[in-house]
Structure 1
Amino acid sequence: MDDLAGSSEINMADVAERAGVSTATVSRALRDLPGVSERTRLRIKAIADELAYVVSPEASRLAKGATGRIAIVAPRMDVWFYSRMLACVEEVLSDADMDVLMYQVDGRQQRNRFFRDLPARRKVDAVVLIALPVLQDEVERLDLMGVEVVVAGGEIGSFPHVRVDDFEVAVTAVGHLVELGHRRIAMIRTSDTDGAYWSADAERSRGYLAALASAGLDADPAYLVTMPFGPRAGADGMARLLELDVPPTAVFAYSDEVALGAYRHLLAAGLRVPEQMSLIGVDGHPIADLFGLSSVVQSVAEQGRLAGRMALDLLSGRQLQNRHVVVPTHLELRGSTAPPGAPGGLDNLPG
């Protein structure tokens, strides 16, 4: 035991082993972050003092925001939601004379590389994650990076975040379809294919099922279609729904882009919206207005700006008034939803 004390090789894992806790807990305790009881925090600090464990000078400089750099991380940059939010985060940070590093980490392999390489190669003062799907071990690595972390457009662990209430988004969309009289309501969702947790997808799926249950409707598993994240998700999801013996009369799509893909497939199949299929999306994509797509609009720009300011506040040492900010949404009704049973509609087909 005494051999460890004062050793220049002491690291956070040694403190964690002595305390009988995870390295993530040690990290939180030494940085006075929430999620650790006061008793455990004091015990960890006492062990760190006993072992003469100190944060490296480089880590200390990072904690003070010495590099002037902030990383923005998104799974995709060619999707409207991510590119719009990224632009708004970057605008706020650049106005504050911060250098911005942008990382696209699509899939587990790229995420692993990011978490592994960033601390060693390109030091930053903070990381802003834009709706990034993560696995639990990646959440723990984030905790150990020694920099401030802010989540935009979603929720990861206990990190400060700016988001919408994705559960309520789904309840609003499906509730609108129920009020129109629809009883066969499907959802086309997208999911990260490596099994990572994606808060927006998980909460919208949960809200869809809850809204059906609240209306006394059974949730047909065939109506909850999961497609790989990508530009064909909406079209391929709608194709699957139309192959059912009893297709739905309305579809709630995970996003406006997914809904627009579904819309395109309906047109190609010679079906009319909303006479033969009602369709509603999420986001407030500018193209949705051109197509007359009903949507639950979330202020993507506002979420991005708030997340950028939150990162700056953390680096300046200012106390966050609210670590978990929820931005309101609203239902924008256009021409893609209508009551079922219109002449020639799918509701009048056999079955």
Structure 2
Amino acid sequence: MADLTRKITIYDVAKRANVTIATVSRVINGKDNVSAPTKEIVMQAIEDLNYYPSPIASGLSKRKSQEIGVLVPFFFGEFFLKLLDGIAKELHDFDLILYDATTPEQKKKLIAKVVGENKLDGLVVVSLPVRTDEEINLRKARFPIALIDTMHPSYSSVCFDNTYGAYKAVEYLTGLGHKRIAIISGAIEDPFHFTVASERLKGYKMGLSMANIPINDKYIQINDWSRIGANLITKKLMGMKEPPTAIFCVSDLQAVGALETAREMGFRVPEDLSILGYDNMDFSDYIGLSTMSQPLSIASQLGIELLKAEIDSGINKKEKIILQPALIERATVAPVASL
């Protein structure tokens, strides 16, 4: 196992692989005069020791690479695709390198990789919370880092006020006379330690408290952010002796599931049941879904502006920008019906 208390060098790789330093150098630089078995042994040693050759040692120049890394948890879903599209538009004069951190373990490996290689002009971290051990590693980076849809005190960041957004959603519903308001939340605990679900649940509770409405734990339902999960939860909620008159879903996809099931059960939306989503995805307009909108393109623009400013100045100002969501009124929310 590599000794993490010191920097691994080419000498360590040569010793581990039982070859000369020159052989390791030839493998690193892609030379042909190394046998396949030897190359495999050297590459395994490099992986085992978590060794990344410096740009100078591997023949790269000191000039800027014109490459920006983007570290994301997913390459699918309209939310992430919109953020990535906005980032790409703002970085049209750079080459983008996308890093897909599909698991927490992969995220740590990718952070070690980009820090060790040190070839980027900057790194954008999207949505992924930066954990303490990862921040310690990122301190070694010799390039600027900016965060979008997540925050950390060590870096400039742009994020959304999820708590305020959920609070405004509930305030809207209570203003229409709703008192039995349920929430279909996403997973509170997950491997990446996302905080979106817990922040929106907090806002939901704040909204009820400000309206002097007691919190009914039976109306708080957690699922995996899926449409199918929302189907099942809505069936459970609307089968209660006192079903909710409104359901606040913390994503538009969950709201679609709630809408489907409610109508299948014979409830009219919004006459019998109001349903409010979150995110304002493109399909929400098509189906007339009332929702909370987040300024995704603005977040991408501001996040890249912060990164470029640090690239140009070399100064990490650790700026924090918090964007507020906006209510989009459509056809799935109405004043509470007479009970």
- Interval containing the TM-score (normalised by the shorter chain): 0.7 to 0.9
Are 1:208 and 2:232 counterparts?
no
Q: In 2, Cα distance between the equivalents of 1:213 and 1:334? A: 26
Residue equivalent to 2:298: 302
Q: In 2, Cα distance between the equivalents of 1:230 and 1:77? A: 17
Q: In 2, Cα distance between the equivalents of 1:233 and 1:76? A: 20
Q: Pick the aligned partner of 2:281 from 278, 285, 289.
A: 285
Are 1:266 and 2:262 counterparts?
yes
1:173 Cα deviation after fit: 0.4
Q: In 1, Cα distance between the equivalents of 2:188 and 2:122? A: 25
* TM-score between both structures, scaled by the size of structure 2: 0.75
1:100 Cα deviation after fit: 0.4
1:154 Cα deviation after fit: 2.9
Are 1:159 and 2:159 counterparts?
no
Cα 1:189–1:314 change in 2 (3 A) is same
Q: In 2, Cα distance between the equivalents of 1:253 and 1:194? A: 18
CA RMSD of aligned residues (A): 3.1
Q: In 2, Cα distance between the equivalents of 1:157 and 1:322? A: 7
Structure 1 contact 107–194 (Cα < 8 Å) conserved: no
1:155 Cα deviation after fit: 2.1
Q: In 2, Cα distance between the equivalents of 1:123 and 1:321? A: 22
SS of the residue 1:283 aligns to: coil
Q: In 1, Cα distance between the equivalents of 2:94 and 2:329? A: 40
Are 1:102 and 2:118 counterparts?
no
Residue equivalent to 1:90: 88
Q: Pick the aligned partner of 1:119 from 101, 115, 119.
A: 115
SS of the residue 1:73 aligns to: strand
1:134 Cα deviation after fit: 5.0
Cα 1:128–1:230 change in 2 (3 A) is farther
Q: In 1, Cα distance between the equivalents of 2:5 and 2:287? A: 61
Residue equivalent to 1:255: 251
Cα 1:137–1:260 change in 2 (3 A) is farther
Letter aligned with residue 110 of structure 1: Q
SS of the residue 2:307 aligns to: helix
Cα 1:183–1:116 change in 2 (3 A) is same
Gapped regions of structure 2 (runs ≥ 5): 8-52
Deviation sequence 1:42-61 (CA, Å, 0-9, x none): xxxxxxxxxxxxxx9759xx
User: Across the two proteins, how many residue pairs are aligned to each other?
Assistant: 289
Q: In 2, Cα distance between the equivalents of 1:141 and 1:222? A: 43
Deviation sequence 1:306-329 (CA, Å, 0-9, x none): 112221111111667881112343
Q: In 2, Cα distance between the equivalents of 1:269 and 1:158? A: 50
1:223 Cα deviation after fit: 1.8
1:270 Cα deviation after fit: 3.0
1:194 Cα deviation after fit: 3.2
Letter aligned with residue 168 of structure 2: T
Cα 1:226–1:123 change in 2 (3 A) is farther
Cα 1:117–1:288 change in 2 (3 A) is same
Cα 1:335–1:65 change in 2 (3 A) is farther
Residue equivalent to 1:222: 218
Structure 1 contact 65–315 (Cα < 8 Å) conserved: no
* TM-score between both structures, scaled by the size of structure 1: 0.72
Q: In 2, Cα distance between the equivalents of 1:320 and 1:116? A: 21
Structure with bigger gyration radius: 2
Gapped regions of structure 1 (runs ≥ 5): 1-8, 13-55, 343-347
Cα 1:138–1:321 change in 2 (3 A) is closer
Q: In 2, Cα distance between the equivalents of 1:230 and 1:73? A: 23
- What percent of counterpart residues are identical? 25
Structure 1 contact 171–207 (Cα < 8 Å) conserved: yes
Cα 1:319–1:146 change in 2 (3 A) is closer
